[in-house]
Amino acid sequence: MPYQRVIWIVLDSVGIGPMPDWREFGDDMASDTLGNCAKLRPLHLPHLTALGIANIRPLEHLTPAAAPRSAYGRCALASPGKDTTTGHWEMAGILLPKPLPTYPNGFPADLMAEYERRIGRGTLGNCTASGTDIIRDLGPLHMATGKPIVYTSADSVFQIAAHEETIPIPELYRMCEIARELLTGPHEVGRVIARPFIGTPGAFKRTSNRHDYAVAPPSGMLLDQLAAAAVPVVSVGKIADIFLGRGVAASHKTKTNADGMAQTLAALAAMDRGLLFVNLVDFDMLFGHRNDPEGYSQALEAADAWLPKLDAALRPGDLVILTADHGCDPTTPSTDHSREYVPLLAYGPSTTGGVDLGTRASLADIGQTVAANFHTTSPAGTSFLDAIPPQS
């Protein structure tokens, strides 16, 4: 195989400009996550710039590399959506025929009545909301009544927030499992998410005990194929949750981007071959959804500053793929995900840089490239492996 180890890093929500169909997906304007951050102030991204991030498309205050270290391009989303499940599933070769269900007006009354019957208590919320805002607004009442806070977003999610001292983590997880069992058929949302928090009114803080309960992906997707081919897959971040652990030999939860980057290096040091599949979620969770462009920019710069440590850990037979799953522009009025192209950078110690991979029709092209490297196939996508052969 061309590469013994593939390190696939998803910079969660780092979109690189609006797709032509953005109006069809509820965006309040044409979002441009990376581009709009670059407009607000100069971004210090020397390593991403050297790889070719500014060669994909013009970015203010960033000069395209004369000789990019990576093969570079961008990917469209072929599936109808702009959320975590849609993006990651598409990477694994699952193209959705229709969007996962969303609930802009909250969940149906009969569904909530049955959910409350099964968990043995009432609920609060049942609306579309920012997670931090709804915890701030309903947290005191939740602590007084013991009722969990149920909310959703523009994505296909059923989120349950609870104070860890009011509803202990095992009980919150049980409530999530009940929701996952209940949300089937037309209400089969992409994810049920436990959102625990701590603190006192006015000073609530979400904890790292978040847990995602994803809908089961169809059989035969990329990670299934890698497992069948005896290719070890190690995940860092929420990857294992998104795919229900299927095909994942070992997984590592993360608390922050910094923790995720540290765990990536530790996992890489323990791997001789296979796929290391990483999601760095802070861009999305902490800054995109909270409309914090300065925090988003600082997170980009922190990831860029970490890249030399990753490069130092690489071997000649390694391939790194940097991409994203959707956008979440912190500069627009909306706090939701945005329908954007995502960047694509592929490089390693032995690759020839400067290859323009163009606009890929689907995120599935990345998964097909990974599959081709390990002599198997993914259900969808066109491999670009031949465009980035290692140097002889």
Residues 233 and 208 in one domain: no
Contact 378, 221 (CB under 8 A): yes
**Band (284; pLDDT cuts 50, 70, 90):** very high
Contact 194, 160 (CB under 8 A): yes
Q: 């059923």: which residue's tokens?
A: 158
User: CB neighbours (10 Å) of residue 29?
Assistant: 14
**Band (154; pLDDT cuts 50, 70, 90):** confident
CATH of the domain at 169: 3.30.70.1250
For CA atoms 371, 376, 378, 383, the dihedral sign is positive
Residues 359 and 289 in one domain: yes
Model confidence over 307-330: pLDDT tens digits?
Answer: 999 999 999 999 999 999 999 999
pLDDT of residue 43: 98
For residue 129, give its domain range: 109-213
Contacts 24+ apart (CB under 8 A), 108-111: 108/187, 111/182, 111/187
Q: Which of 188, 213, 238 is the last residue of a domain?
A: 213
CATH of the domain at 50: 3.40.720.10
Residues 89 and 227 in one domain: yes
pLDDT of residue 86: 95
Q: Which helix (H) or strand (E) holds 359?
A: strand 356-360
pLDDT of residue 28: 87
Q: 């989120």: which residue's tokens?
A: 159
> DSSP states of 188-247 as a string?
--SEEEEEEEES-TT--EE-TT-EEEEPPPPTT-HHHHHHHTT--EEEESTHHHHTTTTT
Query: Does residue 392 surpass a pLDDT of 80?
Result: no
245 lies in some domain: yes
Residues 204 and 277 in one domain: no
Residues 58 and 120 in one domain: no
pLDDT of residue 228: 98
Q: 């990576």: which residue's tokens?
A: 70
Residues 351 and 236 in one domain: yes
Q: Which of 213, 235, 255 is the last residue of a domain?
A: 213
